[in-house]
């Protein structure tokens, strides 16, 4: 690994010197098409000349490969490895399941760049267990029974994610991308606030799934099933490549709202937000007459959610980070410092 400020020999200074790393813009022609790359270069701290470091050419080759694939929407080696783990298939079985030659995936892992057609097929399998299921059925005779069963079992395990609507999957992906570490409890509360604020500010939901008034606050049952294995731990799993690869159905307005929620509510723990939702009318109304420790599948009314956030909007600026922070702080203060 290249380390800035280490010492290497400079051919201009003729002695070992310290250096720093920076990015340079390089334009190269690949297959008759010009591409611009941001590549790492090492610069001598004494004379300012570019230095040739051990391993730098390998770093540049990797940067060029990744940026070229990204520009051309070609699957990366990392994504192909994720596809293998996702469906629990080795190189040869995955090649055959995809309808490729038996050694195709092995060649891709060694650095050969897939054709656009083959890349698109693998990307679709990353995003859609149903598509992968159809490929496994189509190519069943080419696979050993054990490999086929492993692939189909993986498809079955992924069906819960695929059953979520595309805008809900995309919303979850945005949250994970924005925050990194998110527990299932926090995810549920963020989805609730995304939906509620959208109903009030945009007069429409972001996703169609209903929200239920569970003991621990508003919950989207399908999302609970997908993430239940993580319990109180941060969500992290190769299966969620499906979320990232979901075709984007969100508007820029909806993405901006999701970012607003993650930048405010996302800074608080799931238990804090659970307590806040327990003080809000939509959850209280849906739980009316239900003992505190009794499970319930009663749905929160979207009209109640809209009305609640519209009322909040008369006291707080719900379109601003400052306004939402103020609401959360006020709500949390009242919960933990009740008037005697």
Q: Do 139 and 242 fall into the same domain?
A: no
Q: Do 201 and 286 fall into the same domain?
A: yes
Whether 64 is in a domain gets the answer yes
* Residue that finishes a domain, picked among 138, 163, 188: 163
Dihedrals phi, psi of 157, to nearest 5 degrees: -70, -25
pLDDT of residue 334: 65
Instruction: Say how many domains are in the chain.
Output: 3
Q: 16: helix, coil or strand?
A: strand
Contacts 24+ apart (CB under 8 A), 174-181: 174/250, 174/255, 174/258, 174/259, 174/262, 175/258, 175/262, 175/266, 176/235, 176/240, 176/243, 177/244, 178/258, 178/259, 178/262, 178/263, 178/266, 179/262, 179/266, 181/234, 181/235, 181/236
- The series of mean pLDDT values per 10 residues for the chain, 340 residues long, is 73 93 91 90 94 90 86 87 91 96 95 91 90 96 96 87 88 88 92 98 96 95 86 66 74 96 94 93 92 89 96 95 93 60
Whether 1 is in a domain gets the answer no
Q: Do 184 and 327 fall into the same domain?
A: yes
Spatial distance between the Cα atoms of 27 and 155, rounded to a whole number of angstroms: 42
pLDDT of residue 64: 87
Q: Do 26 and 97 fall into the same domain?
A: no
Residue 46 CA: distances (Å) to CA of 8, 12, 15, 50, 298: 12, 10, 11, 11, 70
Q: Do 156 and 170 fall into the same domain?
A: no
Whether 129 is in a domain gets the answer yes
Model confidence pTM above 0.85: no
* Residue that finishes a domain, picked among 110, 138, 163: 163
Q: Do 278 and 174 fall into the same domain?
A: yes
Q: Write out the two tokens for 11.
A: 């051919």
Q: Do 143 and 204 fall into the same domain?
A: no
Q: Do 176 and 278 fall into the same domain?
A: yes
Q: Do 326 and 187 fall into the same domain?
A: yes
Partners of 261 in beta bridges: none
* Residue that finishes a domain, picked among 163, 184, 214: 163
pLDDT of residue 340: 43
Whether 204 is in a domain gets the answer yes
* CA 325 from centre of chain: 24
Cβ 44 vs Cβ 10: under 8 Å: yes
pLDDT of residue 339: 44
Q: Do 272 and 211 fall into the same domain?
A: yes
- Full domain range(s) for residue 121: 77-163
pLDDT of residue 251: 94
Exposure string over 34-54, b if 16+ CB within 10 A, otherwise e: eeebebebbbbbeeeebbebe
């Amino acid at each position: 690994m290249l380390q800035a400020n280490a010492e290497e020999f400079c051919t201009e200074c003729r002695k070992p010197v310290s250096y720093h790393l920076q990015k340079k813009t390089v334009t190269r022609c690949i297959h008759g098409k010009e591409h611009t790359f941001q590549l790492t270069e090492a610069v001598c701290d004494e004379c300012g000349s570019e230095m040739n470091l051990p391993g730098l050419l390998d770093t540049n080759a990797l940067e060029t490969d990744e940026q070229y694939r990204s520009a051309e929407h070609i699957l990366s080696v990392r994504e192909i490895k994720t596809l293998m783990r996702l469906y629990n298939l080795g190189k040869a079985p995955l090649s055959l399941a995809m309808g490729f030659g038996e050694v195709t995936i092995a060649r891709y892992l060694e650095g050969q760049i897939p054709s656009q057609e083959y890349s698109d097929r693998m990307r679709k399998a990353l995003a859609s267990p149903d598509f992968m299921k159809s490929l496994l059925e189509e190519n069943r005779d080419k696979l050993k029974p054990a490999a086929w069963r492993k692939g189909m079992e993986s498809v079955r395990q992924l069906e819960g994610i695929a059953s979520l609507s595309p805008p809900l999957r995309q919303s979850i992906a945005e949250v994970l991308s924005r925050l990194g570490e998110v527990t299932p409890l926090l995810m549920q509360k963020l989805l609730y606030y995304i939906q509620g604020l959208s109903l009030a500010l945009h007069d429409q939901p972001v996703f169609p799934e209903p929200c239920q008034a569970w003991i621990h606050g508003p919950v989207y049952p399908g999302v609970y099933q997908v993430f239940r294995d993580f319990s109180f731990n941060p969500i992290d799993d190769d299966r969620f490549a499906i979320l990232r690869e979901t075709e984007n159905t969100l508007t820029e307005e909806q993405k901006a709202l999701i970012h607003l929620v993650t930048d405010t509510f996302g800074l608080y723990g799931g238990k804090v937000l659970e307590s806040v939702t327990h003080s809000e009318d939509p959850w209280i109304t849906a739980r009316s007459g239900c003992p505190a420790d009794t499970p319930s599948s009663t749905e929160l009314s979207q009209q109640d959610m809209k009305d609640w956030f519209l009322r909040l909007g008369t006291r707080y600026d719900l379109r601003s980070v400052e306004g939402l922070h103020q609401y959360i702080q006020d709500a949390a203060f009242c919960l933990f410092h009740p008037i005697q």
